[in-house]
Structure 1
């Protein structure tokens, strides 16, 4: 199977404008994301797909691969689908541009879900990590995911799920990490559907798969670093980078 990573990268961001061009340890966030993804060594190719000339130049000017989107898109998946439509590829991994700490082990586990007989049934897979901090569980910037006993996604939400009604039970809360993989055909099918009601309400694009009856196979991983959604996250990322350098 040919496996590629695509990094959707738009210059605008509601919560933190121009976050991908912010400096993190002397390099922009988007360049760090690209380099960390390449350095995992698990992909045949890594490409940034962007609507920004500035981001395009940042990547190509540093020896990386990037393509420009031809039109506006509602989601990162839509942006990626446009880029891979005519490419010869089997598995496409969406690495969010604000995830600068990609790690080999987690990505290998994600790609392994598509292997063997059982893997033939998997259309979409994604990563999640356990959330143990109550403040993070309540924070809408952290997308939570509930899974069934086979780790297939049941629901994604910015609200805490499950609701902790019975105080004698200790629920496990999982954060959806913005790195997920799809078979090319599933991705192209996704882009043929209009935005769905839950997706529109939550602004969580993978809900579109659930609303069409396609679960995501979820893979538990250890801490992936810091997803940069806010200026405070950038400060956390700086601290994480220094602690792991």
Structure 2
């Protein structure tokens, strides 16, 4: 089984233009994501899927494998599908290019032991919601699933509703997903379904059409999508500490 980790990197983010190449401790953000991804034990290959020559130039400078994709993709799944036409693999893992705090074990967790080849199939990391504020926040996608962790629905609204019991654990979608080639091809050749158009959640496309999306639970996920300059400053401070710890450890080992 061959696995490929794809890091979609889009230059034109409205709130933080040039996000993938924003500087973090002397290196572009995409470098930090790549360094975390190549530490995943279950990936055979990692590369960046960029939509802009400026990202490609930074990748070349830092010796990061990258391919230039089209500019019309509206989401990561669509960009991954284009890459899947060039890079052969049994399973493609989406690693968001704006999460420099991602941990390699999260990436490994999204790759199943066996991958169905006769049907469209995907996986999605989910985690328990830590606070009531997260439950109510529409940017946190809540999920429900059956006894085998197969996805039933995703919503910006808190689900399930605690009508008969308040003994409920809410789970949220985490942006680490994996797809076989059939699932990516389905996405390219389909149109948004009923609930995707209502909720504005791209991943609902698979559930609208009854495709197999398998949830994988991690009890604790620590990561941050860098969407604003405030997020960027926060990550810079955290990674400075990480850099200091590594450098101090290297000095002691000499």
Q: TM-score, normalised by structure 2?
A: 0.84
Q: CA deviation at 1:149?
A: 1.8
Larger-Rg structure: 2
User: Does structure 1 residue 174 correspond to structure 2 residue 168?
Assistant: no
In 1, distance between residues paired with 2:240 and 2:145?
A: 34
Q: How big is the shift at 1:190? A: 1.4
Q: Deviations over 1:201-245 (max 9, x none)?
A: 333211110111013111112213222233443344345435655
Q: Which residue of 2 aligns with 1:230?
A: 228
Which of 135, 138, 161 matches 2:136? 138
Aligned ranges 1:198-217 → 2 under 5 Å: 198-217=195-214
Structure 2 CA distance for aligned equivalents of residues 196 and 14 of structure 1 = 26
Given candidates 99, 123, 126, the residue that maps to 1:125 is 123
Partner of 1:114: 114
| 2:67 alignment counterpart | 67
Task: State the number of aligned residues.
Answer: 242
Counterparts of 1:134 and 1:183 in 2: how far apart (Å)? 35
SS at structure 2 position matched to 1:112: coil
The residue number in structure 1 matching 2:252 is none
CA offset at residue 193 of structure 1? 0.5
CA contact (8 A) 1:99 1:178 kept: no
Aligned to 1:183: 180
Evaluate the alpha carbon distance shift between residue 26 and residue 71 of structure 1 in structure 2; reply closer, same or farther with a 3 A threshold.
closer
Structure 1 moving runs of 4+ over 6 Å? 118-122
* Residue 148 in structure 1 maps to residue 146 in structure 2: yes
CA drift at 1:84: 1.4
Partner of 1:95: 95
8 Å Cα contact 2:119-2:182 kept in structure 1: no
Q: Structure 1 length as normaliser, TM-score?
A: 0.87
Distance of aligned partners of 1:20 and 1:144 in 2 relative to their CA distance in 1, 3 Å threshold: farther
